[in-house]
């Protein structure tokens, strides 16, 4: 449904909070169903065929209509019985099976590897068969929606020649629209002449393809269909059996069986449908088996997992045109959806002017829609929202509503919904309603129930073929029971269904538990009207990510599952394709694979009757991947992120865009986690624990001023119970854009390769508008595609700019920088958001890198002195300084002079502006060797044409010299400690030098030889430091120097620790436990999933009593998310007199090693001083180690 106007702002707030516009990551759990049981080999009657049968039943395990976890009546329970192929085997148990598509991983992020530059995936190459084994049959083409059960058969593909024979049931002719679709399919596959015969007539002579189609009747032993199997001309049921199709079982309405193979010397297709829709659905699956002029041999047994599946046109904004709606209905037919609800948000004839008939052209439009809906086996539904434009106690108004419904029935509408979502509880359209119902939510519910019941009775009497009436209540998105919901449940007719949107207007997830609770609250069947991908609350976005976050139980437990489309119908079909896939087979739904298929289908629509060019498919994929995030989750531009990261890594810059690392990186800096580390269960040993149980990297020393660092190997960041992190929600969607992840990014050591791959990806973005030009999709998304194209061009300009500065080509870099600035200027017109959180940050970082390269802390013209007149821009110094070079950025073609002012000597000319706009003028040959200047200027040039003036003075340091951390702890005789020195050039060229160290006695320090620091970029120089055995414990200050600059590193040398964990066998206590579920003892119980948690008190503490006194050398703390920002470790011999052994002032959580050398310790206390979160303190586990020896 569309959003109520009063709810739009709330929905936008929800979207922002949930990260809809930011593309935050979020895990998406794909429903990976159990493998369906293979066809009974004995029933197949052919070992060879059965051996080649390939189980690719992605949706197996879905509940059938008679319970259990097999297909309906298929007898496939939890286990595998005789004749059933287990997962990983073919039907003979001999070979490993292959699935139609490579299954996505547990997060639903896709498994393919990309082609490198386009945002897509390809499957890994097949493995060669093992010698002596029969190879499995090739998988059939992927079919969407994903069938409940599909198997490839070991035989050749069935060709479609010039002729085909269509055999139909002489007693019960199949649905004419299904036959029309079948004929069109055969003609499209190459059949120019189709001969139709009845099943009681002999087949025409020749070898033409035979297509048998009809109703699926029981074929039990002794039935007419079973006896007919012995005739010379097989019946449909016998043909299915001979082609090894699964037994019919309790196939529900809409289900079908399909088999393709060779029968009695003829290529044969057999299709039997259950109910009026089954054959039509089977034809859509057959379409998926056709490739060119051949049909893949396969057997299918399939049925809808949701009874009513469809689309709502319910957005606010310009309604769709007739042609757009007709195209949508054709799409729904192809994707096996069967309900189209017209609920346009800006249609007055279904709202304020509901009494009035539609104008003639609109009535004709509804007739056309009804006809197209029938052809696609879709029920056309219409929603009316009389709201407060109706006197609900008036019989006349109710009759007027009935007349409007009769008029819509005459136009072909066959289902109806009453909408009351924007109704007030206190204001009525007429005073009689206040007298009849009163005021408040229960009064509104009684009034709405009266109208709905009257309409339901009218439909039952006048239009008994109508679908069940549904009501959109006023409280359609709230949770739980309310007085309004209780009253509506009591007064509403049992046959009426109630609509809801989930808990929230645009909920991130919808669970089966939420649906059950809401169904109980309303006491009626629920129609789930999901507000995705509707975008009227975020008109700058098109939401193209896959449908996610909905549990299979939502589909199974809803009377109907409808998705609300965007104002852009063709673009909507990408997410709606995935929603249809989910609704058809919720337990087999894999968002990543479905999304890729949706993208391919959208591209195919742009080239009807022919395969879409590969470039167009790539363009649609890029469009979708850069518009993939939403309230439901997903990550924007996921395929670009690794390419961008690889590019920056190859350039040697750190993630902040300021400096970088080369050689061995340091451990994490204070307050950060080291790259690649993970938070594992308590007790996982860190990388340094092999020779020092406490570890050495990132440890903390006594009376630490906060120089330590977090190290990996901590306990899980989540956990059961109260706290800042709730347990993972199983309905959380995976990142929907992960299916677009490319192959492994370029080699980080090869900057050129990384840049080439990123450049190619930007080239794809540039071509999106061109590739989609002249298509419905292209017309709808033009603002977004053009925005992508600008980003693509800007990205390539950024790469050109950085490449030019790398080779020292100032004019080319300035030319690219100007192009980048122009491309980033916001064009006039509709705002379109794409690639949010990815594309702009890349361009910002590139521009920052360029600004750094141009000059450190340069003064731009807005801060410079213009007092010399309109044709002079002057930069004045606080005092005279030695000058080396002046860099000037100006508009190309600007004429002017670069001059420096020498105190007592006046203005001295250094050079003229270059025509390129990039000028670097040195003092050599113009000023004396030791001349000092107090100003520089650009004279003779319009001030507005000069963009930047950067004087490079030579009296400051040649390089910026910083330390990732200035303090470290080292175990005497233990593993080395790794530090990183960050260097950045402060000159208009490379700075070369040697990092020197004055090493104290007892220490070993390793540094590289000479280092070269390029202009405008930073490098990280690794330093390895170790303390030799026999060195006295204590604090040492070690000076590091480069290019005349010196920095001090404070190293605390501690005795090595060894021996068993002293915490084993200790007794824990605390100042207080948050609840009995989180006792102090949980930090010592050795269980990975338990933890201690304190009340929210800065002064809370946890302590343990050791089994015996010890000389304590290290305490290892594994914090949950609720960690201490500041704390001290106190020790005691008797539990009464305490002393501080270590002080931590900047706790970072995770795994923290606190070093000390405390003798005679029996009691150890972690005394909190300042919490890092609003919660208390929480520890997964604690370990303690004694000083070695």
Q: How far is CA 1096 from CA 67, 1148, 1174, in A?
A: 48, 18, 7
Q: Which residues have a Cβ under 8 Å from the Cβ of 1138 and sit 6 or more positions away?
A: 1130, 1131, 1132, 1163, 1165
pLDDT at residue 856, as a whole number? 63
CATH code for residues 1057-1187:
2.60.120.260
pLDDT at residue 587, as a whole number? 96
pLDDT at residue 618, as a whole number? 96
Determine the 3-state secondary structure of 779 from DSSP: helix
Distance CA 779, CA 569 (A): 11
C-alpha closest to that of 91 among 147, 35, 31: 35
Strand partners, 886: 921, 951
DSSP class per residue in 497-548: EEEE-SSSSS-S-B-HHHHHHHHHHHTS-EEEEE--S--TT-TT----SPP-
Local structure of residue 349 (DSSP, 8 states) = G
C-alpha closest to that of 340 among 364, 371, 316: 371
User: CATH number of the domain at 959-1054, out of 3.40.225.10, 2.60.40.10, 3.10.580.10, 2.40.50.100?
Assistant: 2.60.40.10
| β 1138-1144/1101-1119 pair status | unpaired
pLDDT lower than 50: segments of the chain: 2-118, 120-134, 219-233, 653-691, 696-746, 860-861
What is the helix (H) or strand (E) element at residue 652, kind and residue range?
Answer: none
- Structure token pair of residue 289: 């088996």
Q: How far is CA 520 from CA 427, 443, 514, 516, 1133, in A?
A: 28, 20, 10, 6, 61
Tell me the pLDDT tens digit for each residue of 144-198. Answer: 999 999 999 988 899 999 999 999 988 888 899 999 999 999 999 999 999 999 9
pLDDT at residue 827, as a whole number? 65
- Whether 662 contacts 652, CB under 8 Å: yes
Q: Cβ–Cβ contacts within 10 Å for residue 899, how many?
A: 23
- Whether 994 contacts 1010, CB under 8 Å: yes
What is the helix (H) or strand (E) element at residue 801, kind and residue range?
Answer: helix 782-806
- Whether 564 contacts 312, CB under 8 Å: yes
| β 209-215/163-168 pair status | parallel
Q: Where are the domains of the chain?
A: 41-102+134-302, 309-587, 859-953, 959-1054, 1057-1187
CA atoms within 13 A on the CB side of 871: 7
- Exactly one of 105, 402, 422, 1098 is catalytic; name it: 422
pTM of the full predicted structure? 0.77
Distance CA 622, CA 761 (A): 9
CATH code for residues 859-953:
2.60.120.260
Equal fold, 859-953 vs 1057-1187: yes
pLDDT at residue 500, as a whole number? 98
Q: For all residues of the chain together, what is the average pLDDT?
A: 81
Q: How far is CA 54 from CA 82, 584, 699, 959, 1076, in A?
A: 16, 22, 56, 66, 53
Distance CA 835, CA 625 (A): 8
> Is 180 in the active site?
no
C-alpha closest to that of 57 among 78, 87, 30: 87
CATH class of the 309-587 domain in this structure: alpha beta
The domain made up of 41-102+134-302 has a fold known as Chitobiase; domain 2 (3.30.379)
Determine the 3-state secondary structure of 330 from DSSP: helix
- Structure token pair of residue 425: 């509880």
pLDDT at residue 931, as a whole number? 82
- Structure token pair of residue 1078: 């989180």
């Amino acid at each position: 449904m569309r959003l109520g106007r009063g709810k739009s702002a709330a929905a936008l707030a929800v979207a922002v909070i949930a990260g809809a516009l930011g593309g935050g990551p979020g895990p998406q759990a794909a429903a990976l169903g159990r493998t369906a049981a293979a066809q009974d080999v004995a029933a197949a009657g052919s070992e060879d065929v059965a051996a080649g049968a390939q189980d690719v039943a992605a949706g197996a395990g879905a509940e059938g209509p008679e319970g259990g976890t097999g297909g309906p009546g298929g007898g496939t329970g939890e286990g595998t019985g005789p004749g059933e192929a287990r997962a990983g085997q073919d039907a003979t148990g001999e070979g490993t099976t292959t699935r139609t598509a490579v299954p996505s991983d547990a997060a639903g992020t896709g498994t393919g590897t990309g082609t490198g530059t386009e945002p897509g995936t390809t499957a890994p190459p097949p493995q060669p068969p093992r010698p002596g084994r029969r190879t499995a049959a090739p998988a059939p083409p992927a079919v969407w929606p994903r069938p409940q059960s599909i198997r490839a058969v070991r035989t050749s593909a069935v060709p479609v020649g010039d002729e085909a024979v269509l055999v139909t049931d002489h007693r019960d002719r199949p649905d004419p629209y299904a036959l029309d679709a079948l004929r069109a399919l055969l003609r499209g596959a190459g059949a120019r002449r189709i001969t139709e015969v009845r099943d009681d007539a002999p087949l025409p002579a020749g070898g033409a393809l035979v297509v048998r189609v009809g109703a699926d009747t029981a074929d039990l032993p002794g039935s007419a269909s079973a006896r007919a199997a012995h005739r010379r001309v097989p019946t449909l049921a016998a043909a299915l059996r001979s082609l090894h199709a699964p037994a019919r079982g309790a196939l529900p309405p809409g289900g079908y069986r399909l088999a393709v193979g060779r029968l009695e010397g003829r290529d044969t297709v057999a299709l039997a449908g259950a109910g009026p829709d089954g054959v039509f659905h089977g034809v859509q699956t057959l379409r998926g088996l056709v490739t060119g002029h051949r049909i893949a041999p396969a057997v299918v047994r399939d049925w809808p997992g949701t009874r009513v599946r469809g689309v709502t046109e319910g957005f606010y904004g310009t309604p769709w045109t007739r042609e757009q709606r007709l195209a949508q209905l054709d799409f729904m037919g192809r994707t096996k959806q069967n309900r189209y609800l017209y609920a346009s948000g800006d249609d007055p004839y279904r709202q304020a002017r509901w009494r009035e008939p539609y104008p003639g052209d609109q009535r004709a439009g509804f007739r056309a829609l009804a006809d197209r809906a029938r052809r696609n086996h879709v029920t056309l539904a219409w929603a009316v929202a009389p709201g407060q434009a109706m006197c609900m106690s008036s019989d006349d108004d109710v009759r007027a509503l009935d007349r409007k419904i009769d008029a819509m029935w005459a136009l072909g509408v066959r289902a109806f919904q009453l909408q009351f979502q924007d109704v007030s509880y206190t204001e009525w359209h007429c005073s009689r309603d206040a007298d009849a119902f009163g005021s408040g939510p229960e009064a509104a519910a009684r009034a709405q129930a009266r109208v709905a019941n009257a309409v339901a009775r009218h439909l039952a009497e006048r239009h008994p073929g109508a679908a069940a009436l549904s009501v959109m209540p006023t409280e359609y998105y709230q949770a739980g029971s309310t007085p309004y919901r209780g009253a509506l449940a009591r007064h509403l007719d049992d046959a009426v269904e109630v609509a809801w949107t989930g808990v929230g207007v645009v909920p991130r997830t919808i669970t089966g538990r939420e649906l059950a609770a809401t169904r109980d609250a309303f006491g009626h069947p629920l129609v789930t009207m999901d507000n995705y991908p509707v975008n009227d609350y975020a008109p700058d976005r098109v939401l193209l990510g896959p449908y996610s976050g909905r549990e299979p139980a939502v589909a199974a437990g809803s009377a109907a599952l409808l998705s609300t489309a965007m104002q852009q119908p063709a673009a909507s079909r990408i997410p709606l394709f995935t929603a249809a896939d989910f609704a058809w087979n919720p337990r087999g739904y894999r968002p990543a694979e479905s999304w890729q298929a949706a993208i391919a289908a959208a591209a195919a629509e742009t080239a009807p009757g022919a395969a879409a060019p590969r470039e167009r498919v790539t363009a649609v994929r890029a469009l979708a991947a850069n518009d993939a995030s939403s309230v439901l989750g997903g990550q924007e531009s996921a395929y670009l992120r690794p390419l961008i990261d690889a590019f920056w890594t190859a350039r040697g810059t750190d993630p902040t865009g300021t400096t970088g690392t080369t050689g061995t990186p340091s451990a994490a800096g204070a307050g950060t986690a080291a790259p690649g580390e993970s938070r594992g269960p308590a007790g996982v040993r860190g990388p340094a624990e092999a020779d020092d149980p406490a570890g050495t990297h990132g440890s903390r020393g006594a009376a630490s001023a906060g120089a330590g660092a977090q190290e990996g190997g901590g306990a899980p960041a989540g956990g059961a119970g109260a706290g800042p992190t709730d347990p993972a929600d199983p309905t959380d969607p995976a990142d929907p854009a992960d299916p677009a992840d490319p192959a492994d990014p370029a080699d980080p050591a090869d900057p050129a390769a990384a840049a080439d791959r990123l450049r190619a990806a930007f080239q794809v973005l540039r071509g999106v508008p061109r590739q989609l030009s002249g298509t419905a999709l292209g017309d709808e998304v033009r603002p977004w595609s053009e925005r992508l194209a600008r980003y693509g061009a800007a990205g390539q300009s950024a790469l050109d700019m950085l490449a030019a500065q790398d080779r020292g080509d100032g004019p080319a870099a300035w030319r690219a920088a100007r192009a980048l600035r122009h491309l980033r200027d916001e064009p006039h017109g509709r705002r379109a958001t794409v690639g949010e959180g990815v594309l702009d940050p890349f361009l910002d970082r590139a521009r920052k890198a360029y600004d750094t390269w141009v000059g450190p802390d340069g003064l731009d013209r807005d801060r410079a002195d213009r007092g010399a007149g309109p044709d002079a821009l002057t930069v004045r110094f606080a005092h005279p300084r030695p000058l080396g070079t002046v860099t000037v950025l100006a508009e190309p073609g600007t004429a002017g002079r670069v001059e420096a002012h020498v105190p007592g000597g006046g203005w001295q000319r250094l050079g003229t502006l270059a025509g390129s706009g990039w000028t670097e003028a040195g003092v050599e040959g113009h000023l004396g060797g030791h001349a000092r200047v107090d100003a520089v200027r650009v004279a003779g040039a319009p001030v507005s044409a000069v963009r930047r003036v950067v004087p490079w003075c030579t009296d400051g340091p040649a390089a910026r010299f910083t330390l990732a951390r200035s303090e470290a702890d080292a175990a005497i005789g233990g593993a080395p400690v790794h530090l990183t020195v960050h260097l950045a050039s402060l000159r208009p060229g490379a700075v070369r030098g040697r990092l020197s160290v004055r090493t104290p006695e007892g220490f070993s320090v390793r540094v590289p030889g000479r280092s070269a620091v390029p202009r405008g970029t930073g490098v990280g120089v690794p330093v390895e430091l170790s303390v030799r055995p026999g060195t006295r414990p204590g604090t040492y200050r070690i000076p590091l120097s480069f290019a005349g600059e010196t920095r001090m590193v404070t190293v605390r040398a501690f005795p090595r620790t060894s021996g068993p964990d002293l915490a084993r066998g200790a007794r824990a206590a605390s100042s207080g436990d948050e609840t009995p579920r989180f006792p102090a003892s949980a930090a010592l119980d050795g269980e990975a999933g338990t933890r201690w948690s304190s009340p929210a008190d800065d002064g809370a503490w946890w302590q343990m009593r050791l089994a015996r006194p010890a000389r304590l050398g290290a305490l290892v703390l594994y914090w949950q998310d609720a960690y201490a920002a500041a704390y001290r470790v106190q020790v005691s011999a008797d539990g009464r007199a305490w002393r501080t052994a270590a002080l931590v002032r900047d706790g970072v959580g995770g795994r923290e090693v606190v070093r000390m050398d405390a003798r005679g310790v029996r009691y150890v206390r972690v005394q909190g001083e300042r919490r890092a979160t609003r919660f208390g303190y929480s520890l997964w586990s604690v370990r303690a180690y004694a000083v070695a020896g």
